[in-house]
């Protein structure tokens, strides 16, 4: 068995208890906006911060930058949170949260290349830690969030993309409202405002006055 601690391991390889380096962190780290040290290949809930997610997603452009004007992932995420079922709204807000630490990858590469499969494994592990951190309702994206994400995609196609002579594979009825993208600073504030709205009943403060997200989620393993 090849342990995940080995850099040549498959993305879904388990940790081998007898691995000589087990217990060490996997891969290298990044410094986040708030100054945290975060290991994208070895994510832990205590290193995941909503302020970091909001800031990074507000500076990350949808469609790998190919829309007519800047439109952030944070802006998109807030819209998904309103378009999905109300009980899934927090999931909708955070459905792209791994991109805050991994950046985005275009769909053809993510879906149809070996590199994309490796990325998807890393993304899934990180999303599980985000589920734990923020007490999301389930592991695995709810159906209403998937549907809302597609509705937003088609709305964004209509409002933010130039015409194309090849049809898109996704089909959904776009929203009636026209998207007017927010600048990054506004998108970040809007994302944080929506997060606080959705978590108001589950937040307390630590002795330093900082908000703490309460969660009873237990970590699960895939397969």
Give residue limits of the domains in the chain: 30-203
* CA-based nearest residue to 213, from 126, 221, 201, 118: 201
Rounded CA gap, 153 and 173, in Å?
A: 10
pLDDT of residue 23: 62
Mean pLDDT, the chain, integer? 85
Q: Of all residues in the chain, what percent carry a pLDDT higher than 70?
A: 79
* CATH no. of 30-203: 1.10.3210.10
pLDDT of residue 6: 54
Average pLDDT over residues 5-10: 52
Structural tokens at position 217: 């989620």
pLDDT of residue 2: 46
Report yes or no: 211 and 203 within 8 Å, Cβ to Cβ: yes
**pLDDT per residue as tens digits for the range 160-197:** 999 988 888 878 999 999 999 999 999 999 999 999 99
Residue 16 DSSP one-character state: P
Confidence (pTM): 0.81
């Amino acid at each position: 068995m090849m342990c995940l601690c080995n850099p040549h391991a498959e993305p879904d390889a388990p940790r081998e208890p007898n691995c000589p380096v087990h217990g060490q962190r996997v891969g290298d780290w990044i410094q986040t906006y708030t100054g945290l040290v975060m290991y994208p290949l070895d994510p832990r809930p205590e290193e995941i911060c909503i302020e970091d997610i909001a800031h990074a997603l507000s500076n990350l452009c949808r469609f790998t930058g190919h829309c007519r004007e800047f439109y952030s992932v944070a802006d998109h995420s807030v819209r998904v949170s309103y378009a999905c079922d109300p009980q899934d709204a927090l999931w909708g807000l955070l459905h792209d949260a791994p991109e805050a630490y991994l950046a985005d990858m275009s769909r053809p590469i993510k879906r149809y290349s070996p590199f994309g499969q490796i990325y998807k494994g890393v993304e899934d592990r990180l999303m599980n830690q985000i589920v734990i951190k923020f007490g999301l309702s389930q592991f695995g994206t709810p159906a209403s969030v998937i549907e809302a994400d597609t509705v937003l995609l088609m709305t964004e196609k209509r409002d933010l993309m130039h015409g194309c002579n090849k049809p898109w594979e996704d089909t959904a009825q776009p929203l009636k409202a026209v998207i007017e993208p927010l600048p990054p600073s506004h998108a970040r504030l809007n994302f944080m405002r929506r997060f606080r709205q959705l978590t108001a009943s589950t937040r307390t403060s630590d002795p330093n006055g900082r908000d703490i997200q309460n969660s009873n989620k237990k970590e699960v393993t895939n397969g």
